[in-house]
Amino acid sequence: MKKVTIKDVALKTGLSVSSISRVFNNYGDISAETIKKVTLAAKELGYTPNSAAKQLSSKKKKIIALILNEINVTRGVAMPLEILGGVVDNLDKTDYEFVFYATNSKKQNQKSLRQFCNERDITGLIIQGLRISDPYYQELETFDLPTVAIDLDIKNEKVGTVSTDNTKAAFEMTQLLDKAGYKNILFLNGTKTATVAQAREAGYREAVDNAQVYYANFSENEACKWAIEYAKMNDFNKIDAIFAASDLMAIGVIKAFRILDLEKNIAVAGFDDITLASYVTPSLTTVRQDMGKISEYAVKDLICQIEKDEIKHRFVPYQIIERESARLTTDKVKTKFEA
């Protein structure tokens, strides 16, 4: 099958290339008859405008890139997929083209954000999964293309942000645990270089007097090991609850507690509400992030930024979900809390 171009349609209809282009771009100033003729001919020939040519010749490009960092690190965490699906769905409703780009620290060192955008004629971008230590994170601080960063706290007025209010959510969860009677709450954080980790820790610290914070790299395995090590050096009986900065780490802690036979004594809460959270035993009390809304606003805010130059910093509602691993009310009556 040979490639069919705008010329073929022009030839077939006896019109000029310009006219064909005009009907395909809905330029208004065309007779109904030519529209019909062109549409028909294009259909018969199976013509589709070539996007590379379009990009190259057009002044006003409309291409939005979604950049996801470290997409395949953790089995069981489908968050990148939810964002991908959400962004695609929301972009489908607009006339922007979609470009996906998966990166990692190695690729970041080889090609800068600016280079990528230049190479692909990117109009604006949505970016997620960056850690503070990533080259792209630094680059974003002086970046000047419309950008919305998910779960990131960029000190650049030109970069919009969308995320859960991690600090508030963590604060609230800590308070609820406290109110439920868990007085001595330990916080198991991920890494110091993740924006969300810092925000969650801040919320926890606000809510307690004597903060106890440890790190387990957002890893189930490391969380499990941490708990076992901790048990050797300290008395877990002094701890009433462990609030982990991610569900995966919460699951790791529960696994350790099963080994240590501490399961019934200490409450555990997580963060994210990944799919696993509701399937494990005990099911996880956690903070649910609304990835659907996050993707939706990422797209909306980015387009708003591109078209109206308005930059937004948005928090998307979260939900605190009480399950078996930690009680959130004194009176054992299960209630859902919304924010």
One residue of 1, 11, 12, 15 binding DNA per CB under 7 A = 15
- Cβ closest to a second copy, residue 151 vs residue 172: 151
Question: Which of DNA, a second copy, none interacts with 17 (beta carbon under 5 to 8 A by kind)?
Answer: DNA
Name, in order, each residue with C-beta under 8 angstroms of 158's C-beta and a sequence gap of 6 or more.
Answer: 143, 144, 146, 147, 311
**Least distance CB 62 / DNA (angstroms):** 10
Name, in order, each residue with C-beta under 8 angstroms of 11's C-beta and a sequence gap of 6 or more.
Answer: none
Q: Is residue 262 at the binding interface for a second copy, with CB under 8 A as the rule?
A: no
- Cβ closest to a second copy, residue 16 vs residue 48: 48
Q: Is residue 22 at the binding interface for DNA, with CB under 7 A as the rule?
A: yes
One residue of 36, 40, 44, 56 binding DNA per CB under 7 A = 56
- Cβ closest to DNA, residue 53 vs residue 259: 53
Question: Which of a second copy, DNA, none interacts with 24 (beta carbon under 5 to 8 A by kind)?
Answer: DNA
Question: Which of a second copy, DNA, none interacts with 81 (beta carbon under 5 to 8 A by kind)?
Answer: a second copy
Kindly identify the residues of this chain, within the stretch 67-126, that bind DNA according to CB under 7 A: none
DSSP code at position 277: G
- Cβ closest to a second copy, residue 33 vs residue 119: 119
Question: Which of DNA, a second copy, none interacts with 94 (beta carbon under 5 to 8 A by kind)?
Answer: none
Q: Is residue 18 at the binding interface for DNA, with CB under 7 A as the rule?
A: yes
Name, in order, each residue with C-beta under 8 angstroms of 306's C-beta and a sequence gap of 6 or more.
Answer: 123, 124, 146
**Least distance CB 76 / a second copy (angstroms):** 4
**Cα-Cα-Cα-Cα dihedral of 151, 153, 158, 159, to 10°?**
-10
Q: What 3-state DSSP class applies to 155?
A: coil
Q: What are the structure tokens assigned to 289, written together? A: 């992030």
Nearest to 43 by CA among 19, 67, 13, 70: 13
Nearest to 163 by CA among 272, 268, 285: 272
One residue of 46, 59, 93, 235 binding DNA per CB under 7 A = 59
**Least distance CB 117 / DNA (angstroms):** 13
One residue of 1, 11, 24, 149 binding DNA per CB under 7 A = 24
Q: Is residue 119 at the binding interface for a second copy, with CB under 8 A as the rule?
A: yes
- Cβ closest to DNA, residue 3 vs residue 232: 3
How many chain residues touch a second copy (CB under 8 A)?
A: 47
Give the max Cα distance, the chain: 87
Q: How far lies 99's CA from each of 69, 107, 155, in Å?
A: 14, 17, 26
Nearest to 35 by CA among 46, 22, 48: 22
How many chain residues touch DNA (CB under 7 A)?
A: 31
- Contact flags string 63-82 toward a second copy, x per CB under 8 A: --------xx--xxxx-xxx
Tell me the HSE value of 152 on the side-chain side, using a 13 A CA sphere: 27
Q: Is residue 251 at the binding interface for a second copy, with CB under 8 A as the rule?
A: yes
6-13 vs 17-24: helix crossing angle, rounded to 10? 110
Beta strands in 120-225 (DSSP E): 124-128, 147-150, 159-164, 185-189, 213-215
Question: Which of DNA, a second copy, none interacts with 22 (beta carbon under 5 to 8 A by kind)?
Answer: DNA
303 phi-psi bin (left φ>0, alpha ψ -120 to 50, beta other): alpha
Q: What are the structure tokens assigned to 300, written together? A: 């909306």
Where does this chain bind a second copy (CB under 8 A)? 1, 3-4, 46, 48-53, 55-56, 71-72, 75-78, 80-82, 84-86, 88-89, 92, 99-100, 102, 107, 111-112, 114-116, 118-121, 144, 251, 275-276, 279-281
